[in-house]
Amino acid sequence: MNEPQLAPQLGKIISQSTESDDPQILPSRLTTVGNMSVRRALPKRQRRTIGAWCFADHFGPVQVHGTSAMEVAPHPHIGLQTVTWVLDGEIVHRDSLGSEQLIKRGELNLMTAGRGVAHSEEPSGSTIDIMHGIQLWIAQPSSSRNGKAAFEHHVSLPEINFDNLTARVLVGTFGEATSSARIDSELMGAQLTLSIGESTFEARSDFEYGIIVLEGTVMLEDKMVIPGHLGYLHPGRNEIRIKALEPSTLILIGGEPLNEEIYIWWNFVARAQDEITEAYNDWKQQTERFGKVDSHLPIIESPLPHWISSSS
């Protein structure tokens, strides 16, 4: 997806550690991406990252009419992976690597930007009624963030059942199941489908975790979490206890807290402002860095970084 106005005010991202509020419940911010309204769970001023997860937009469920579903024109990324997961509806992904991939319910799109990639998200042309899904970003570590771009589509993801819940593992490991999707750092992401009642599952004590409820209502330990809220758990747990008050679907993300500062501006994840300026200029001048997306949509122009004078 694309974030047209992501914050000059966001600035430097520094990991926080106040353990007084645990679990911590944070309301998502309502915003729009392309023609969709989204609930942005990450980043928040009070919670910028969970492991290397640095962005999470929950879109829908929303009634769409015919083919007027998700449409986000070509735009660039650096230094991150996009994880796209659809519960209802379809999206066509096109990127500057030449990928063209329809994504449907239960399938995973994972795009690695590295030093640069561009992509679009477009309606499939099929008649669909409802769009519902989530897109997350993972900040790439220094070891891979200047590397090559890549794209993966996973039709079959491991699933495990226990204790009132079914987990579909998107990336990393949950329980005994490990996704074959590429990860560049120690993290995990899974969809948990819960029936009414309590579930307890193993956690890694070196991971921090977050839950984003897509449908339903759950108690995360003693705190209620509903769609539009992020539930955050500090590191140090060996298990996590969730009680579904109604049939519920949520995304569980976790990872080792980042040990470096990241800088997010617009669609770019970097470590310093100079890197953002360079990416801004390369997109503005349409250099070869990002390549071309085979799309009929005109590219999205970057907003002007606040540190660059409009006359320059």
- Least CB distance to Mn ion at residue 112 (A): 12
Q: Which of 168, 189, 169, 165 is nearest to 178 (CA)?
A: 169
Closest CB 105 distance from Mn ion, rounded Å: 20
Cis, bond preceding 43 (omega within 30 deg of 0): yes
Query: Which residue of the chain is nearest Mn ion when measured via CB?
Result: 1
Minimum CB separation of residue 181 from Mn ion in Å reads 17
Q: Which is nearer to Mn ion, 69 or 167 (CB)?
A: 69
Instruction: Report DSSP letters for 116-174, one per residue.
Output: -EEEEEE--SS--SEEEEEEEEEEPPTTTTTS--EEEEES---EEEETTEEEEEEESEE
- Give the binding-site size for Mn ion (rule: CB under 5 A): 1
Q: Residue 277: left (phi > 0), alpha (psi -120 to 50), or beta?
A: alpha
Binding mask 44-63 for Mn ion (x = CB under 5 A): --------------------
Shortest Å, Cβ 104 to Mn ion: 19
| 156 vs 286, beta carbon nearer Mn ion | 286
Token pair for 56 = 């999470």
Helix (H) or strand (E) holding 73, with range, is strand 72-77
The C-alpha atoms of residue 13 and residue 260 are separated, in whole angstroms, by: 9
Considering beta carbons, is residue 55 or 232 the nearer one to Mn ion? 55
Q: Nearest approach, Cβ of 241 to Mn ion (angstroms)? A: 34
Our CB check for Mn ion shows the closer of 1 and 211 to be: 1
Amino acid at the residue 230: L
Kindly tell me which of 137 and 174 has the beta carbon lying closer to Mn ion. 137
- Taking the least distance from each CB to Mn ion, the nearer of 119 and 154 is 119
Closer residue to Mn ion in complex, CB, 2/164: 2
- Work out how close the CB of 84 gets to Mn ion at its nearest, in angstroms, rounded to a whole number: 9
Could you give the CA distance from residue 1 to residue 166 in angstroms, rounded to a whole number? Answer: 28
Residue 29's beta-bridge partner residues? Answer: 40
| Start-end of H helices in the chain | 273-284
Query: Cα separation of 233 and 23, whole Å?
Result: 5
Rounded CA separation 40/111 (Å): 20
Question: Least distance in Å: CB of 80 to Mn ion?
Answer: 9
Closest CA to 277 of 84, 78, 89, 128: 78
Residue 264 binding Mn ion, by CB under 5 A: no
Q: What is the smallest separation between the CB atom of 131 and Mn ion, expressed in angstroms?
A: 16
Nearer to Mn ion, 101 or 166 (CB): 101
Site string for Mn ion, 1-20 (x = CB under 5 A): x-------------------
**Contact residues: Mn ion, CB under 5 A:** 1
